[in-house]
Structure 1
């Protein structure tokens, strides 16, 4: 009995030793917590760096892209094609008209329209938006002085096959057939047909410009639309006056008011 009791006492650690052996688990737990905290801090640093990258790179790019709307880019592309066809129509005059006033007005309309194409193309290019091919073709035609040799078939110069890709009746755009019909004429018949087409064409150009002024987001695009609308309202009156002077029908269209 005594020996067994003694053995029990020898193998049973004192209370002080029991407390001492509890330290390793506590140290392990502390180390584990430190490692977890380190991982959390590292993760937080990664998140912070990612946030800084987002704020420094992606957000400005996104904000820049959000500076214009679909309405702005659609207006620019539509107005380029519209003005490109005006350049094309103006380039029909040399070799067909023998009226100095008509020839001079054709140059004015062609140069003004080409200038608008250039401004709109610059706006698109600054935003990495493709410029309609008709715009570049119209600019090339204008750079040639709006005077090109007449093809053998008499159909006249073209800004390119895409210069009038919209269907006729869509903001004043003419169909290929309508353009070819004008190109087949000469002298007074041509003058009347060209000027009448320009009147309707100009009126049609007011629609996309006015829509951009009302619904656009980009200030520069809206300013271009306003400038175009103002110019159209002046130009169309000159065309109408000349149309009347060459014996064409008078116009009662009041859309310029």
Structure 2
């Protein structure tokens, strides 16, 4: 046997091995193709969901709003105003058990009930349009239903109507932070009275911005009317709060101008 013959014999695989290799390669190729087809189906399904969501957000929701006669600004105002008034209810509910001043207690009830009334009206506007009502609104109504003129049991940080009633971010439209509410709830007597009324003045003034924006830019006549009523009520309530605040020796007690 020549060296050339030897090389040929060593490098050429037995003829019986070739079919096995082909058989092994065939299932692998089939499996890869099957996986690719599955991945393609998954991606196509995901793309369909995304496209459907974009269609809903970009076409169907605006179309629904247009048909119902309201805009995104209208619904945003209603949700923001509910959150804002819900905190006013929460602040008012702190007074029983912390204040002993009859004027402060009476004013807290007045402000709390008025704010709860606005929450109810705004929630009705949202529900009529099948828009979800913020949880804080439902919790504020439950808190008001328990009675704003009686001391409610709490853990020392004020009455809470539910899990999200204490989740305000604060710093926006006069909203108090959780820490500010806790600090207020830790006070009593005249310190609490002055701190509560001062907070309500700032809080109420903050609520004028979304109301005034809705009056100027809103589309829905009912939403604009609710915003106008709120703005008018806020201006009256702020003056009432400032008068009581001055009477108990708070900021502005010397000249009656408030802070």
TM-score scaled to structure 1, two decimals? Answer: 0.71
Distance 1:180 1:62, change over 3 A: closer
1:149 correspondence with 2:152: yes
1:135 correspondence with 2:137: yes
Whose Rg is larger?
1
| Runs of at least 4 residues off by over 6 Å | none
Structure 1 distance, partners of 2:128, 2:100, is: 42
Task: Choose the corresponding residue for 2:120, options 97, 115, 118.
Answer: 118
Distance 1:68 1:191, change over 3 A: same
Q: Which residue of 2 aligns with 1:86?
A: 88
- Structure 1 gaps of 5+ residues are 1-57
Structure 2 distance, partners of 1:149, 1:117, is: 20
What RMSD over aligned residues (CA atoms) do the two structures have, in Å?
Answer: 1.9
Matches within 5 A, 1:183-222: 183-222=185-224
Deviation at 1:65, TM superposition (A): 3.7
1:236 correspondence with 2:255: no
SS at match of 2:164: coil
Distance 1:62 1:80, change over 3 A: closer
Task: Choose the corresponding residue for 2:71, options 59, 69, 72.
Answer: 69
How many correspondences in the alignment?
A: 194
Distance 1:63 1:138, change over 3 A: closer
Structure 1 distance, partners of 2:88, 2:105, is: 14
SS at match of 1:73: helix
- Aligned partners of 1:88 and 1:157 also within 8 Å: yes
Structure 1 distance, partners of 2:170, 2:92, is: 18
Per-residue CA deviations over 1:141-161 (Å, capped at 9, x if unaligned) read 11111234332x421212434
SS at match of 2:251: coil
Structure 1 distance, partners of 2:105, 2:163, is: 24
Per-residue CA deviations over 1:182-227 (Å, capped at 9, x if unaligned) read 1000010000000000000000000100000011000000000000
Deviation at 1:169, TM superposition (A): 2.0
Distance 1:252 1:71, change over 3 A: farther
Structure 2 distance, partners of 1:176, 1:148, is: 20
Structure 1 distance, partners of 2:163, 2:84, is: 14
Distance 1:203 1:196, change over 3 A: same
Structure 2 distance, partners of 1:111, 1:65, is: 34
SS at match of 2:219: coil
Structure 1 distance, partners of 2:93, 2:65, is: 42
